[in-house]
Structure 1
Amino acid sequence: MDRFTGSLNKIKNIDLPLLVIILFLAGFGLMMIYSSSSTLGYLNYDASNHFFLKQLQWLLLGCTLLAIVAFIPYQLYSKLSPLFVFASITLLILVLLPGIGVERNNSQRWIQLGFMLFQPTELIKLFMLIYFAAFYSKKQEIINQFNRGVLPPLLILAVIFLLILRQPDLGSAALILFGCGIIVLSSGVKLRHLLMLGSIGMLSVAYFALSSAYRLERLTSFINPFSSPSGDGYQLINSYIAIGTGGITGNGLGRSIQKLGFLPEAHTDFIMAVVLEELGIIGLIFVVSAYIFIMFRGVAIAKACTHLFPKLLAIGITFQIMLQVVFNLGAVSGMLPITGVPLPLISYGGSSTIVSMISFGILLQISA
C-alpha cells in the first residue's frame, strides 16, 4: 500500500515528453490506418472506416491500460514474474489446441476472445522481459556461475522459443530471443558466457529458419523478389513500387495507389510503404525520429535507475520496441526477411497496440 501511495506521489515526475511522443505516434498510426485501409474496408465491410474504428477501440483500451499501469509500482512485476512464466507457457499450449487456437494464413497464432483475435506472443514478449529482468537482478551474487546464475531462465526461454515455432512464428520467436538477450547482455554476465550464448542463439535461429522449406522460402524471398513476382515476391515488389513513387514529399495523404488492392493488407505489416507513398521521405523522417526519441528517453530512464530490476526492464522494453521497428522497416524496404512483425503503434492490430501501450505504461512508471 505504501508503495502504491508512493507511486501516486511520484506520478507527477512522469516523463511527459515520452508520453506526448507515444500518443502522437499512436495518433499518426490511427490516421495512416484509415488512409491505407479505407478501400479494403469499403469493399469487404461496406464501411471505409471499418478498420479505423476497430483500431480506435483498441487504442482507447490501450491508453486506459497505460494510465492504469503507470500507477502500479514496478516492484510488483518482479514478484509476479513466476506467474508470468506459467501464463506464457499455458497460453502457448492453448493456442496450439484445436478449437481454441485460430488459424490464419497457415499459422495458428491467435485465440478468439469474442471482440478481438488475441495473439498471445505479443503479451509473452513483455512477460519474458519481466521474468529475465527479475531473475538477473536477484542473482547478481552468483552471476558468474553459469549453471546457477545464468542458465535457468535460458531453459525456459528455449521452451517458449520452441512453442512459438510450432505456430509457426519465427519472427516473434526471434524477437523474444533477442529482447531477452539484451537483458542478459546488460546484467553483467561474463563475456565468454555472452559469446557462447550469442553463438547458440544465432545458430538456433539459423537452424530453424533452414529446417523448414516454407520458412526458408519466406525468409529468402526478399533477396530476389522478382524471381517470384506473383508468389512470395509479390508483396515486396508492390512495396518497392509504393516507396519508389513517393519521392521526397509523397503523393499526398490518402492518394496511395498501392492500397487499392495491389499491396496486400497494406494497413498491417507493410503500412510504412503506404506512409512513404503518401508522405514520402518526410514521413519516414518523422516516424524514424519519433522512434529514435523513444529510444533515447528509454535509455535515459534506465540510466537514472538506482536499482537493477527497473534498469534491466527499461532497457528490455526500449530495445524490444526498437527491434520490432528494425525488423519491420527492414522487411518493408527489402533489407531483411519478411517475418510479419508489426510496426509498433502504427500497424493495425489489437494485440500489438494494447501490449505496446502496457509496455510504455511500465516504462513511464519507472520514469516516475
Structure 2
Amino acid sequence: MQYLKRMDLTLLIAVVLFIFFGVTMVYSASSPYALIRFDNAEYYFHRQLYWALLGLLFLIPTIVLPYKLYGKLVSALTILTILLLVLVLIPQIGVERNYSSRWLSIGGILLQPVEITKLTILIYFSYFYSKNEEEINNVKKGLLPPLIILAIVFCLIISQPDLGSATLIIFSCGIILFFTEIRLRYLILLMCFALLGFSCFALMAPYRLMRITSFLAPFEDMDGAGYQLVNSYISIHSGGVTGLGLGQSVQKHGYLPEAHTDFIMSIIAEELGFIGVLLVLGFYFFFFVKGIRIGMRAKNNFGKLLAVGITLQIVTQAFINLGAVSGTLPITGIPLPFLSYGGSSLLISIVSVGILLNISCFRRI
C-alpha cells in the first residue's frame, strides 16, 4: 500500500468537492418539479445523494486495486458489457421510457448499461492496443479486432436508441487510437468512416435530424424544436455576472425541461451567474490538465492510454453538454459529468476517477 502515498491528492479533493456541489445543484434545480410530481421537493436530491455516497464507497477499492488488474479481467468485462446491452433490448427485461429502452431494473434500482460501457470499452481498447503495440498497423491482427467489438457495441447502443452516447464512445476509442503508433492514413480513414456512419444514422430518423439541426435556428420554432434551447438562453441570460442566488431560478419552475439533468448548467448560470460558470469550466480544465499529466507520466502504455482515455472522455462529454446548453452544438441528451442527475452516470464517473487516481500512484518519478 506504499504506492498510495503517491496518489494525486489534489485531484481527489477537487472531485469530491465538485460531486457535492453537483448534489446541491441537483436539489436546487429539481425541487419544484419533484414537489409537483412526487409531493416531495427532496426526492431527486435524496436519490442523487445516495448515488454520490455509493460512488464514493466504490471509489475506495478503485483507488486501492492496481489498475493492471483490469487488464486481466478485460475479456470478462467486455462480455458482460455486450450482455447488458443485449438485455436492455429484450422486452420485459429492459425498461422503456420516452420510447427508448436504455435501463435495467435490478432490485428496484435502475441502471444504464451504456454508462458502464463507456468505461469498459476504454479498458478493452487501452489493454488490447498496449499489448499489441508492434502489431497496431497489421490490420487483421493488430487493428481490426477491437474495431469489430466497437461496431457491435455501437449497433446495440443505436438500437436503444442513443446516438449521442454511441458517438461519444466512438470518439473516445478514436482518442485512444490517436495516442498509439497507428499510421496516419489508417486514422484518417477510420475518422471518415465514423463520420459517414454518424451522418447515415442521423439522417435515418427524422427526430434525430431535427434535434441536430434545431440548434441552428431555435427562435424559428420557439414552441417546438427550439423550446428547450430558447429557455436555456433565457436562463443563462438572467444570471448575469453574480446570478439570482442559489435556489432562486425562475426557469426551473416548469419552463426549462430537463432542468436537473441535461440542462443543469443553465440553472447554475441562472443562480450563480458567470462566476458559477467559471467555477465549472475551471474544474474541467483542472481535471483535463491533471488527467493528461497522469497519463503522460504513467509507467506503462496501458496506464497511459487508459488515463488519457478516461480524462478526455469525461472532458469531451462535458464539452458536448455545455455546447448543447449554450446552443453551439446539437442537443444530444448527454449528461454533464458529476453534475447532472443520474445514478449510473455519476457512479461510473466516480469509478473512472478512482482508476485514474490509481494510475497516478504508479507514475514515473
TM-score bracket for this pair, using the shorter chain length: over 0.9
* Identical positions, percent: 51
What secondary structure does 1:348 align onto?
coil
CA distance in structure 1 between the partners assigned to 2:75 and 2:61 by the alignment? 22
CA distance in structure 1 between the partners assigned to 2:108 and 2:231 by the alignment? 32
Alignment of 1:180-329 (within 5 A): 180-329=173-322
Cα displacement (A) at 1:217: 1.2
Cα displacement (A) at 1:226: 2.1
Deviations 1:77-112 (A, max 9, x none): 111111121111111110000001111112111111
Q: Which amino acid aligns with 2:218?
A: P
CA distance in structure 2 between the partners assigned to 1:217 and 1:100 by the alignment? 30
CA distance in structure 2 between the partners assigned to 1:56 and 1:62 by the alignment? 10
Alignment of 1:109-128 (within 5 A): 109-128=102-121
Kept in 2, the 8 Å contact 1:116–1:350? The answer is no
Q: Which amino acid aligns with 1:328?
A: N
The normalised TM-score by structure 1 is 0.96
2:2 maps to 1:9: yes
Q: Which amino acid aligns with 2:337?
A: P
CA distance in structure 1 between the partners assigned to 2:155 and 2:245 by the alignment? 44
Partner of 1:130: 123
Q: Which amino acid aligns with 1:306?
A: K
Partner of 1:53: 46
Worse-matched range after superposition: 157-166 or 145-154: 145-154
Cα displacement (A) at 1:128: 0.2
Kept in 2, the 8 Å contact 1:146–1:193? The answer is no
CA distance in structure 1 between the partners assigned to 2:108 and 2:27 by the alignment? 20
Match for residue 151 of structure 2 among 152, 155, 158:
158
Cα displacement (A) at 1:303: 1.0
Partner of 2:29: 36
Count of paired positions: 361
Q: Which amino acid aligns with 1:170?
A: L
Cα displacement (A) at 1:161: 0.5
**Gapped regions of structure 2 (runs ≥ 5):** none
Worse-matched range after superposition: 318-327 or 228-237: 228-237
What secondary structure does 2:73 align onto?
helix
What secondary structure does 1:70 align onto?
helix
Q: Which amino acid aligns with 1:130?
A: I
Q: Which amino acid aligns with 1:153?
A: P
CA distance in structure 2 between the partners assigned to 1:210 and 1:110 by the alignment? 25
Match for residue 367 of structure 1 among 337, 360, 363:
360
The normalised TM-score by structure 2 is 0.97
CA distance in structure 2 between the partners assigned to 1:306 and 1:265 by the alignment? 42
What secondary structure does 2:64 align onto?
coil
Cα displacement (A) at 1:144: 2.1
CA distance in structure 2 between the partners assigned to 1:363 and 1:158 by the alignment? 26
CA distance in structure 1 between the partners assigned to 2:210 and 2:135 by the alignment? 43
Cα displacement (A) at 1:258: 0.2
Cα displacement (A) at 1:53: 0.7
Worse-matched range after superposition: 161-170 or 197-206: 197-206
Moved over 4 A (4+): none
Cα displacement (A) at 1:114: 3.1
Partner of 2:98: 105
**Gapped regions of structure 1 (runs ≥ 5):** 1-7
CA distance in structure 2 between the partners assigned to 1:162 and 1:149 by the alignment? 22
What secondary structure does 1:340 align onto?
coil
CA distance in structure 1 between the partners assigned to 2:129 and 2:138 by the alignment? 12
Kept in 2, the 8 Å contact 1:301–1:367? The answer is yes
What secondary structure does 2:104 align onto?
strand
Taking only aligned residues, the RMSD between alpha carbons, in angstroms, comes to: 0.9
CA distance in structure 2 between the partners assigned to 1:18 and 1:230 by the alignment? 43
Cα displacement (A) at 1:50: 1.1
CA distance in structure 2 between the partners assigned to 1:30 and 1:161 by the alignment? 31
CA distance in structure 2 between the partners assigned to 1:38 and 1:321 by the alignment? 27
CA distance in structure 2 between the partners assigned to 1:16 and 1:57 by the alignment? 24
CA distance in structure 1 between the partners assigned to 2:340 and 2:9 by the alignment? 24
Match for residue 78 of structure 1 among 65, 71, 75:
71
